[in-house]
Amino acid sequence: MKKYIHALLVSVLAALQGPLAFAEESSVSPASMHKSINVRTPSPTSGQHAKKTGRQGKAVLQGKTLYKMYDCAACHSIRGAGCKEGVPLDGIGSRRSQRFLTEQLQDPEEHVAKNTKAFRGDPNLMPHPHMDDQEIKLVVKYLMTLR
Ligand code: HEC
């Protein structure tokens, strides 16, 4: 009887180990290893950093989401993503001031007309985005990170 139970246990274990071993093996792809290493080894200062930049980081992320929601990429590109023929916004945060970007989003027509030099005399082609002040603030925060 004891022997029988033992044999049963062994075969059950073997049957279980099959899929388990397989699952374990397949989950250790180089990509997932990389991921788990990243997750498990935060740098000693990253906690402090996250605390300090937490609110700011959230605003930037919200701005990025709004940029997507308002489909700015229909006419603009960032790092090659978006409209290839449009106006690239790479590095816009170092080219323009916060105020410049804010005014562009508040009223593109008026802003482009007022800044003929910055826009090389081009006529305004950007439609009014109709964003509220808070949304503009967040999108500008995001754009300012593009350096
Ligand atoms: C229909 C196309 C179109 C859409 C949609 C659009 N833009 Fe524009 N945008 C332009 C064009 C064209 C310009 C260049 C100025 C001009 O000629 O009007 C411009 C200029 C800008 C500038 C100034 C660039 C510089 O060189 O200073 C910023 C910033 C900007 N757009 C951000 C946005 C954001 C953010 C959105 C989404 C809310 C958006 N745009 C949606 C066409 C568009």
Taking only the tens place, the pLDDT of each residue in 95-141 is 999 999 999 999 999 999 999 999 999 999 999 999 999 999 999 99
Domain match, 36 and 59 both = no
47 lines ligand 1 (CB under 6 A): no
Question: Do 136 and 96 sit in the same domain of this protein?
Answer: yes
Structure tokens, 137: 């603030």
Could you tell me if the CB of 127 is within 6 A of ligand 1?
yes
Task: Tell me what the pLDDT averaged over the chain comes to.
Answer: 80
Same domain, 93 and 138: yes
Q: Kindly state whether residues 32 and 65 are assigned to the same domain.
A: no
52-73 exposure pattern, b = at least 16 Cβ within 10 A, e = fewer: eeeeeeebbebbbebbeeeebe
Per-residue model confidence (pLDDT) at position 53: 74
With a 6 A CB cut-off, is 96 part of the ligand 1 pocket? yes
Evaluate if residue 30 carries a pLDDT over 70. Answer: no
Domain with 73 in it: 54-147
Does the structure show a pLDDT above 80 at 44?
no
CATH code: domain of residue 95: 1.10.760.10
Same structural domain for residues 146 and 92?
yes
In angstroms, rounded to a whole number, what is the distance separating the alpha carbons of residues 71 and 99? Answer: 22
* Residue 45 included in any domain: no
Predicted pLDDT of residue 47: 58
- Nearest atom (ligand 1) to Cα of 131: 38
Q: How many Å lie between the centroid of ligand 1 and the Cα of residue 57? A: 23
Answer yes or no: is 48 within a domain: no
